[in-house]
Amino acid sequence: MNKGIKDLIDQGKMLPLMEEFYTIQGEGYHTGKAAYFIRVGGCDVGCHWCDVKESWNADLHPPTLADTIVEHAKKYSDTVVITGGEPLMWSMDYLTNKLHQQGIKTHIETSGAYSFSGNWDWFCLSPKKTKLPLKEVYKKANELKIIIFNKSDFTFAEEQASKVTSNCELFLQPEWSKKEKMTELIVDYVMKNPKWKISLQTHKYLNIP
């Protein structure tokens, strides 16, 4: 990588873009809303059940000008969801400011394992045991989404919920490969602990991206 491109990436003016697409938000608080998704490459959190492991190696995804990403996004939607990979591995300040200049709302889904950057209208924190969020990130969360893979994840969920603000929306989501077993447990848990809500990967049921 030449120095010019590296400098632009360091400034957030270029990003390793894996894919971008217009679809329906499938999970969490904004389920059912049309949005333009921007998936950024690069992640070292290492969830063994990750369904986009091809995003992990940032070098596989071409550095793309943030201005170009914004031009694409504004053709489709007034809401952008930035995900990964782990988007906070990169500076999000430039991209989110440019999106706001176009009147586009900015949403992120992140593990919170990297320093906060960007100007967000909605901040979805999805912590992972393998690399916990930084302390500074918890207070930013509008939404806490915990993936339930086994029974011990309920304890992890409560530990994480104790660190966010009282206004944060709390969601439990079954890991897809164990959805039959875990959904039943989540339903029971939410009925006993109604501060939580259930998130389902509805885009997978609908067979859309």
pLDDT in tens, 57-89: 999 999 999 999 999 999 999 999 999 999 999
Which residue type sits at 15?
L
**DSSP symbols for 94-133:** HHHHHHHHTT-EEEEEE---S---S--SEEEE--BTTBPP
| Domain ranges within the chain, ordered by starting residue | 3-206
pLDDT at 48 over 90: no
**pLDDT value of residue 24:** 98
Q: What is the CA angle 134-137-150, rounded to 5?
A: 70
**pLDDT value of residue 1:** 75
Summarize pLDDT for 19-34 with one digit per residue, the tens.
999 999 999 999 999 9
> How much of the chain, in percent, has pLDDT values that exceed 70?
100
pLDDT at 156 over 80: yes
Supply φ then ψ for residue 102, to 5 degrees: -95, 5
**DSSP symbols for 7-75:** HHHHTTSEEEEEEEEEEE--SSTTTT-EEEEEEEP---S--TT-S-GGGS-GGGS-EEEHHHHHHHHTT
Alpha-carbon gap, residue 81 to 55, rounded angstroms: 16
| 27-46 average pLDDT score | 97
pLDDT at 51 over 90: no
| 135-142 average pLDDT score | 97
pLDDT-derived band at 49, boundaries 50, 70, 90 = confident
3-206, CATH topology level = TIM Barrel (3.20.20)
Alpha-carbon gap, residue 109 to 100, rounded angstroms: 18
Least confident of 26-40, 49-63, 76-90, 145-159: 49-63
The mean of the pLDDT values for the chain is: 96
pLDDT-derived band at 133, boundaries 50, 70, 90 = very high
Helix (H, G, I), strand (E, B) or coil at 187: helix
